[in-house]
Amino acid sequence: MSSFLLAVGFRISKADSSLFIYQHGSDIIYFLLYVDDIVVTGSNDRILQCFIDALGREFDIKDLGPLHYFLGLQVTFHSNGIHLNQVKYAHDILLKHDLLLSKPVSTPMSTKSLLSTNDGVLLDNPTVFREMVGSLQNLTITRPDIAFAVNSVSQFMSKPRVPHLIAAKRILRYIKGTLDHGLSFSPQQQPVHLSAYSDADWAGCPDSRLSTSGYLIYLGSNLISWCSKKQPTIARSSAESEYRSLAHASAETTWLGYLLYELGAHIQFPILLYCDNLSATYMASNPVFHARTKHIELDYHFVREKVALRSHLVNYVPSVDQPADLLTKLTTS
């Protein structure tokens, strides 16, 4: 497939090897390939149809028409843009685990207790738990609201216990009440801002005392990327854990900037990074804090380089206005 695409004038994206781009004058075609699933779109309907016809002569493919379903994602077009969700996938998970008639809950995790490695009795059949959590991980593609909860239960795959299974089922009961939740995307006027909100929960794990990093990245008003992940080493302060999260957000926005450039989108610079820890914002722009920061791995100072190059700008945001909180800690709403 790639040989054919390159032969007819496509080039492989440097940011994403599954994306092929064809450009001739003002006409452009995007071709996204995942194993044997294809999404193709373009700016000129006539040229796009000619390409699809040529693709059909070369390969045994089936044209399913306008995009409605791709890799478990349901796509709905409306007057203000598009909406992505995984209603069918979520319904199938609930049906498989006999929770379709369960009572919904208002939050994906309980705020009263933290999950621990040694609490509770080991499960007799851990396969059920592992299948449940694996399915939930796929559901986070369009559900950032469950990312932290799924990240939490995913840490007990090797030796799951009864409280871990209860927590996983609670996430499914939350999904039962929010089946139609998803992501909406609306057109943005160019140039558009790429911005990120980063946060961290200092020493939140009761067993390892590791912190959890989280970030949300927006293209204009559209949420396009997020992450909730435990940090690999212990942070000596809340500022350090926040600084590490800020570095991860900086790296992700750098990659997204390259991808958007290849797609022909014009973004405004500097890219805005928002953090609710003043010490972390100072560390990002002040290289003189030797005594406090000399132990931090060099790769985390990536954000300092970006700020010095003026490609990124770190701003303070009050904790009450920090949307990335939902990716790093338990919340009551």
Residue 77 lies in a domain: no
- Does 21 lie in the same domain as 98? no
Domain span at 248? 188-327
Residue 281 lies in a domain: yes
pTM of the model: 0.90
- Does 208 lie in the same domain as 156? no
pLDDT computed for residue 289 by the predictor: 57
pLDDT computed for residue 285 by the predictor: 79
- Does 209 lie in the same domain as 158? no
Based on the structure, what is the number of domains in the chain? 3
pLDDT computed for residue 32 by the predictor: 95
Write the CATH number for 284.
3.30.420.10
- Does 260 lie in the same domain as 225? yes
**CA dist 230 to 109, 145, 212, 220, Å?**
17, 17, 4, 28
At 16-57, the pLDDT tens digits run 999 999 999 899 999 999 988 999 999 999 999 999 999 999
Residue 112 lies in a domain: yes
pLDDT computed for residue 205 by the predictor: 85
Residues of the chain with pLDDT under 70: 287-299, 331-333
- Does 219 lie in the same domain as 144? no
pLDDT computed for residue 301 by the predictor: 79
Taking the C-alpha atoms of residue 226 and residue 327, their distance in angstroms, rounded to an integer, is 8
* Structure-block tokens of residue 212: 């959890």
pLDDT computed for residue 333 by the predictor: 44
- Does 193 lie in the same domain as 166? no
Residue 239 lies in a domain: yes
pLDDT computed for residue 293 by the predictor: 62
What single string gives the DSSP state of each residue in 124-155?
S-HHHHHHHHHHHHHHTTS-GGGHHHHHHHHT
Residue 262 lies in a domain: yes
